[in-house]
Structure 1
């Protein structure tokens, strides 16, 4: 497995007058969508693509319910998911109310399967991807 990367210059925002340094930036090439995952799993086992799809969809429903109930959802060696909250602070514990919570995030912690995969990756430098620009429509 090879992770493709390009090299980009970045400035330190706290030391803007200093010259920038060059860093690797991972480049994604394509994507593997839900349908492709189901097809891939189907090709390596005895269940059908429809069965794979149904099981994954059911797992997602269970995950949603578990996370909404404040549970950590562990998927074996794949990893775990947990809801975290973002909000404003209060001067004291007594003054803190749920109205200060402004949003949530879902934290993912990779398990052994993914952390071990990371240890085996190789890296290939590629050209920088072109910067996307929005097309200007005349008269718009």
Structure 2
């Protein structure tokens, strides 16, 4: 199955006077909920139920949150890794920089081998 997309016209915020260009914008077909994910994982096993999978995934979320908030990178083998990155204002010198210039953080995911391979082999389909 292909990744569906539409065409969107956008301007360059750094160059507002520049002509707008057209870009691809991915459009999701559906979503996989936590419950559906748990059921699908459980279907691949003869020893665990979807309730068991949900409990493990809930605990995974708690552990991921704890370690990321400690400033750790969390690696999931070939799946990929999660890390906190920061958004801040700049300071003229290192001495003038302080934590009040940090505007927030976000969780960054870096895909591992399996997902990079999947990304390299994507097919695309334009929709209206």
TM-score (norm 1): 0.78
Partner of 2:70: 69
* Pairing of 1:115-126 with structure 2 (within 5 A): 115-126=116-127
Give 1:36's aligned residue: 36
Measured in 1, the distance between the counterparts of 2:12 and 2:86 equals 29
Query: Higher Cα Rg: structure 1 or 2?
Result: 1
Q: How far off is 1:8 after superposition? A: 3.2
Q: Counterpart in 2 of 1:90?
A: 91
TM-fit CA distance, 1:89? 2.5
Change beyond 3 A, Cα 1:100–1:12: closer
Distance across 2 between alignment mates of 1:115 and 1:107 = 15
Superposed counterparts of 1:1-140, under 5 Å: 1-12=1-12, 14=15, 16=17, 18=19, 20-46=20-46, 47-127=48-128
* 1:80 match: secondary structure: strand
- Following the alignment from structure 1 to structure 2, what is the Cα–Cα distance between the partners of residues 76 and 55? 17
* TM-score, normalisation: structure 2: 0.85
CA-to-aligned-CA distance 1:68-98 (integer Å, 9 cap, x gap): 1110011111111111122223333233222
Between 1:118-127 and 1:75-84, the stretch displaced more is 118-127
After superposition, give the CA deviation of every residue in 1:16-67 in whole Å (9 maximum; x if it has no partner). 464x443322111121110110011111112110111111111111111111
Deviations 1:90-120 (A, max 9, x none): 3332332222222111111111121111122
Distance in 2 (alpha carbons) for counterparts of 1:73 and 1:55 = 16
